[in-house]
Amino acid sequence: MEVTAGILVKDYHVLLMRRAPGQNAAGGWEYPGGKIEPGETGEQCLHRELKEELCIDAEIGEKMAESAFEMSSKTIRLHAYRINQYEGEIQLTVHDQMEWVPLSKLLDHDQLPADYLISQKLLEVLRCASDRHLQWATQ
């Protein structure tokens, strides 16, 4: 299964969403995003999912990382893209909580396995590019 994730970084904090009760893996923290539908690119999927889940119109940037994880006898491949900027006020529609997590505490959250792998890779990328400006997700 091919899935996308949006990496929003603001003031050295990353946006994580918590899955609402009644959902698969309820209570788990994840990056916003969703399943790629037939005929969609990863970027198109993420743009659609961010509108549906967060009510924002996002500019999708470069692919930051990928992860693969086995779950219920199927492989989940998560493609994480940088969000350059967005318009609109973030609203909860399918999640019950959101949090801007400091980069220094990113791995402390109870993230879903594929998202945790993305967080590890994201921190590696940011360490390698520590001289780059991290103000990506601006309104």
Residue 134 clears pLDDT 80, i.e. is over it:
no
Residue 106 clears pLDDT 90, i.e. is over it:
yes
Percent of the chain with pLDDT over 90: 68
Give me the sign of the Cα torsion angle 32, 13, 81, 112: negative
Residue 65 clears pLDDT 80, i.e. is over it:
yes
pTM, entire model: 0.87
Domain at 104, CATH number: 3.90.79.10
Per-residue model confidence (pLDDT) at position 26:
87
What is the domain count for the chain?
A: 1
Q: Give mean pLDDT, residues 15-38.
A: 93
Residue 133 clears pLDDT 60, i.e. is over it:
no
Please check whether residue 6 lies inside any domain of the structure: yes
Please check whether residue 38 lies inside any domain of the structure: yes
Could you tell me which of 52, 39, 46, 67 has the C-alpha nearest to residue 4?
A: 46
123 membership: H or E segment, kind and range? helix 113-128
Please check whether residue 133 lies inside any domain of the structure: no
Range of the domain at 95: 2-128
Residue 21 clears pLDDT 50, i.e. is over it:
yes
Model confidence at 29, pLDDT cuts 50, 70, 90, reads very high
CA distance 119 to 126: 10
Percent of the chain with pLDDT over 70: 91
Model confidence at 136, pLDDT cuts 50, 70, 90, reads very low
Query: What is the DSSP code string of 63-114?
Result: EEEEEEEEETTEEEEEEEEEEEEEES----SSEEEEEEEEGGGGGGS-B-HH
